[in-house]
């Protein structure tokens, strides 16, 4: 079983349990997945961890929360602040993350900070190619 963090087009967030990723895709394409709050069938998967690539030539991204984290007793608040920082300042390239990170690394496109999702395979090939990236956990926000 795998769980996915899901959200509908109205922004309601909820969790779904599936036997596999294929089962999720199948249910979604057949319109069987609906938001438990509003019943919308327009449901998307939220990444539970976000991949982050910082371009070497882009503006250095020092999370302003880092200083606060030293004072904050709860580690969770640091990750929440970090996730918020990344959401605000990094371009969301979604599932194209691996390709974009690669192209930025090669200088084929403008250097910029991006975030997105990766598969385990993509992470492995990025590591093999020496493309640096980070995975950070995304906290669950209360709706």
Segment interacting with Zn ion, rule: CB under 5 A, options 36-44, 51-59, 115-123, 132-140: 36-44
Please report which helix (H) or strand (E) contains residue 3, including its range.
strand 2-8
41 contacts Zn ion (rule: CB under 5 A): no
89 contacts Zn ion (rule: CB under 5 A): no
134 contacts Zn ion (rule: CB under 5 A): no
Q: What's the Cα-to-Cα distance from 55 to each of 25, 83, 84, rounded to whole Å?
A: 32, 18, 19
Segment interacting with Zn ion, rule: CB under 5 A, options 6-14, 61-69, 87-95, 120-128: 6-14
Is 12 or 45 the residue whose CB approaches Zn ion more closely?
12
38 contacts Zn ion (rule: CB under 5 A): yes
Q: Minimal distance in Å, beta carbon 37 to Zn ion?
A: 4
Strand partners, 58: none
Q: What is the CA radius of gyration of the chain?
A: 17
Residues that bind Zn ion (CB under 5 A): 8, 10, 12, 35, 37-38, 40
């Amino acid at each position: 079983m795998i769980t996915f963090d899901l959200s509908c087009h109205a922004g309601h967030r909820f969790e779904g349990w599936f036997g596999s990723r294929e089962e999720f895709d199948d249910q979604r394409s057949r319109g069987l997945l609906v938001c438990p709050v509003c019943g919308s069938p327009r449901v998307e998967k939220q990444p539970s961890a976000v991949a982050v690539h910082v371009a070497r030539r882009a503006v250095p991204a020092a999370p302003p929360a880092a200083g606060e984290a030293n004072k904050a007793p709860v580690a969770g608040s640091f990750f929440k602040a970090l996730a918020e920082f990344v959401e605000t300042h990094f371009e969301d390239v979604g599932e194209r993350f691996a390709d974009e990170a690669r192209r930025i690394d090669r200088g084929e496109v403008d250097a910029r900070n991006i975030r997105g999702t990766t598969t385990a395979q993509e992470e492995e090939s990025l590591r093999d190619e020496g493309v640096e990236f980070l995975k950070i956990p995304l906290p669950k926000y209360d709706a």
